[in-house]
């Protein structure tokens, strides 16, 4: 049941992202960038269909990979220490440059804001409070769900109410409820790349689903011939991230089943559930409880197929949501945002945080700042900081530890190359005078 809820939430989180620009969960943030723009162009059916098919393909392939290569991949993950995780997170920050649709400076400014927000609360190592200013509600930090709801949901409501959005765009008949041949041609590559990328990232500790979707989007934007069109409503921007975040769910089970190491909060909950039933995840789990392991694998196949069966017939119903007049729709969106933010920890403070970030998101959109880099930086910020401090503790303050470990050095070289290519690509080219052309 818990596993079904886990990959079911990954599967269904794209629906609200595409239809009303509100991520169903954090891993669907990237889907908002192109999925919502496709809906505004009258292609909500194609976006929802490709999200469903991509998730199904990625889920099926990643389950096969889980059965075939789980043990060796789990052993490889054991070689990651704090220095490797720090350089991996550093590489993740550099990938922010590929998420930007505009100024790289604005992108990294949002990343800095995200890191600052992630530092709010009790310091993991020293136990001291930071950026709390006497507000007890901030001792636990800024919740990711209220932040996402505010930046994407509330801000979108404010923008649409201000501009009196015209419903003609949303009322147009959907010519095709499912992806056409060209959509499949454009999406097959991103689906398979997202599957492999998501599965590998899911094995590593941290919020693999969120990281996988962001990295997949950045990769597709980098290698695509239509990189300038990302963020305007192209189907590759939906297919890749949706495949990646679903594949990452299977990746999280690798370390859990073969080593007994949870790599995320969700897998930690699954670990607790297994131990309550007297089962100890680890190398002996498959031998001692083969019925549990293979039963769960079978449930993944059944669940994956059921999600596809449930989702596809409902696409016409979801598309009809776009035909609801916005004066009726936006109070409902606001209500769902309030319920979603409050239901996580049942704290009124989360509602205040959501509204604060809603206003901030509104101002960011007015000034052409992207919210996605802030979200990614907020997610990986704590891991980035903790890995840095733990690495320096291991080396007694020597930064050479990042250069003397092979995996860490590879990540540093990749970071340097990515940053260099991003700067070269964005460097303005001097134009010749018309007389010389």
CA dist 163 to 33, 158, 257, 359, Å? 19, 9, 51, 16
Which of 162-166, 287-291, 400-404 is least confident?
Answer: 162-166
Categorize the per-residue pLDDT at 381 as very low, low, confident or very high, splitting at 50, 70 and 90: confident
Q: Structure pTM?
A: 0.68
pLDDT at 93 over 90: no
> Does 424 or 400 have the greater pLDDT score?
400
- State the Cα angle at 422 between 419 and 425, rounded to 5°: 150
> Does 155 or 12 have the greater pLDDT score?
155
Dmax over CA atoms of the chain, in Å, equals 82
pLDDT at 165 over 60: no
- The two structure tokens encoding residue 173: 């008949």
Characterize 269-284 residue by residue with b for buried, 16 or more Cβ atoms within 10 angstroms of its Cβ, and e for exposed.
ebbeebeeeebebeee
Domain ranges of the chain: 2-425
Categorize the per-residue pLDDT at 78 as very low, low, confident or very high, splitting at 50, 70 and 90: low
CA dist 6 to 11, 310, 362, Å? 9, 16, 31
- The two structure tokens encoding residue 389: 């401090």
Judge contact between 368 and 165, C-beta under 8 A.
no
């Amino acid at each position: 049941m818990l596993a079904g809820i886990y990959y079911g939430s990954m599967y269904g989180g794209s629906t609200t992202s595409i239809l009303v620009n509100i991520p169903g969960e954090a891993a669907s943030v990237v889907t908002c960038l192109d999925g919502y723009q496709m809906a505004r162009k009258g292609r909500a059916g194609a976006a929802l269909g490709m999200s469903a098919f991509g998730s199904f393909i990625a889920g099926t392939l990643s389950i096969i990979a889980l059965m075939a290569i789980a043990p060796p991949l789990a052993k490889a993950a054991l070689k990651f220490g704090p220095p490797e995780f720090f350089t991996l997170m550093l590489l993740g920050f550099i990938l922010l440059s590929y998420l930007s649709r505009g100024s790289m400076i604005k992108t990294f400014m949002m990343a800095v804001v995200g890191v600052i927000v992630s530092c709010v609360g009790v310091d993991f190592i020293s136990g001291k409070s930071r950026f709390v200013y006497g507000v007890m509600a901030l001792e636990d930090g800024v919740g990711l769900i209220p932040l996402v709801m505010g930046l994407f949901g509330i801000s979108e409501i404010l923008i649409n109410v201000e501009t009196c959005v015209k419903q003609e765009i949303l009322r147009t008949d959907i010519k095709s409820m499912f992806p056409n041949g060209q959509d499949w041609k454009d999406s097959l590559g991103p689906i398979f790349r997202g599957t492999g990328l998501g599965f590998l990232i899911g094995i590593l500790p941290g919020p693999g689903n969120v990281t996988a979707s962001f990295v997949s989007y950045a990769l597709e934007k980098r290698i695509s011939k239509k990189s300038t069109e990302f963020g305007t409503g192209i189907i590759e921007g939906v297919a890749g991230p949706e495949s990646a975040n679903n594949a990452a769910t299977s990746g999280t089970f690798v370390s859990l089943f073969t080593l007994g190491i949870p790599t995320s909060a969700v897998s930690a909950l699954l670990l607790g559930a297994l131990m309550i039933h007297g089962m100890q995840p680890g190398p002996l789990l498959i031998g001692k409880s083969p019925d549990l392991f293979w039963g769960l694998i079978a449930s993944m196949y059944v669940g994956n197929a059921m999600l596809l069966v449930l989702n596809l017939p409902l696409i016409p119903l979801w598309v009809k949501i776009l035909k609801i007049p916005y004066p009726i729709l936006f109070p409902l969106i606001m209500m769902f945002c309030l319920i979603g933010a409050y239901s996580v920890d049942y704290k009124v403070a989360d509602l205040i945080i959501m509204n604060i970030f809603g206003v901030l998101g509104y101002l960011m959109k007015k000034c052409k700042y992207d919210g996605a880099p802030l979200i990614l930086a907020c997610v990986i910020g704590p891991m980035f900081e903790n890995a840095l401090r733990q690495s320096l503790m291991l080396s007694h303050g020597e930064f050479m530890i990042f250069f003397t470990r092979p995996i860490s050095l590879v990540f540093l070289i990749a970071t340097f190359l990515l940053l260099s290519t991003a700067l070269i690509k964005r460097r303005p080219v001097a134009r010749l005078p018309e007389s010389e052309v």
